[in-house]
Homo-oligomer: A and B are copies of this chain.
C-alpha cells in the first residue's frame, strides 16, 4: 500500500523532461521535441501493486514510464505466472497492444509509477510526419526483442544460479545507466517476482539467492535486493551486458 508520492503537476512538459538530461538517451531535434510534446496527452499516477494494462483488453493505451518500476507478465489458466520483462524510466509500455490490437500480456506496478499518456490516434501522424521517430519506435521494439532473446536463453539454458545472477546483473545494469541508485536501496521486488521471472519455485529461488549472498555478490534486505558486485554477477552468468551506448525514447 505505498501511496503515490508527491502529487505531480498534471503535465510535465517534454521540454523539461528529467529523463532527457540523462546521457543514456538520444537527443531530440527541436521539431521532434515539439511533436512529442503535442503527442503527450497527460500524466497518470499509479499505485504500487496496481495493474497498468490487462491481458486480453483491446483499448490499449500507449505510455512511457516517467518514474517507478513495473513488470510485464503472462499467466496460464491455472495461475502459473511468467514475468517477461521489467519496465522502468524511459520504457514504452503498450506498444504491442497499440500496434496489433489486443494486449497479450499484463503490466503491473512494482512501485508507485508515473506514466506519460500518449494519444493513440496520433500514432499514424507520427509515422506520416516524423520518420525519425517512426524509426525509433521500431528500434524500441527491436530492443525489447533482443532482451527477450537473452531472457529466453537464460530460462532455457542457464542453471538456476546463473539465471539468478543474470537477472540481477541485467536489472542492475539497466538501473545504473538511469542513475536510479541515489540511496543504497534497490529493486522493490519480492523473491516471488524473481521466481516467476526465472521459471523457478520460490523455495528454490530463495536457496539460490542465498548462494549468491554467500558469495558476496548480493545482499537481501527487507523487500528488496542490494547488488554488491554487478560485475561478478555478469561474470557468473556468462553475460556480456546490454552494450548500449545511447538509445532513443519517446
Q: Does A81 contact B (CB under 8 A)?
A: yes
Contact string against B for A residues 172-205, beta-carbon threshold 8 Å, 1 for contact and 0 otherwise: 0000000000000000000000001111000000
Q: Is A95 close to B, CB under 8 A?
A: yes
Q: Check if A153 is an interface residue, CB within 8 A of chain B.
A: yes
Q: List 19 A-B contacts (CB under 8 A).
A: A74-B149, A76-B157, A77-B238, A78-B238, A80-B158, A82-B156, A82-B157, A96-B142, A104-B149, A124-B131, A127-B132, A127-B135, A131-B131, A141-B141, A141-B142, A148-B149, A148-B152, A155-B155, A155-B156
Contact B84 A142 (CB under 8 A): no
A128 proximal to B (CB < 8 A): yes
Residues of A within 8 A of B (CB): 72, 74, 76-78, 80-82, 84, 95-96, 99-100, 102, 104-105, 124, 127-128, 131-132, 134-135, 137-139, 141-146, 148-153, 155-158, 196-199, 238, 243
4 further contact pairs, Cβ within 8 A, besides A84-B153, A141-B142: A77-B238, A127-B135, A131-B131, A156-B196
B127, A134: Cβ atoms closer than 8 Å: yes
Residues of B within 8 A of A149 (CB): 72, 74, 84, 104-105, 148
Name the B residues within 8 Å of A132 (CB-CB).
Answer: 127
Given contacts A100-B146, A104-B146, contact A156 B198 (CB under 8 A): yes
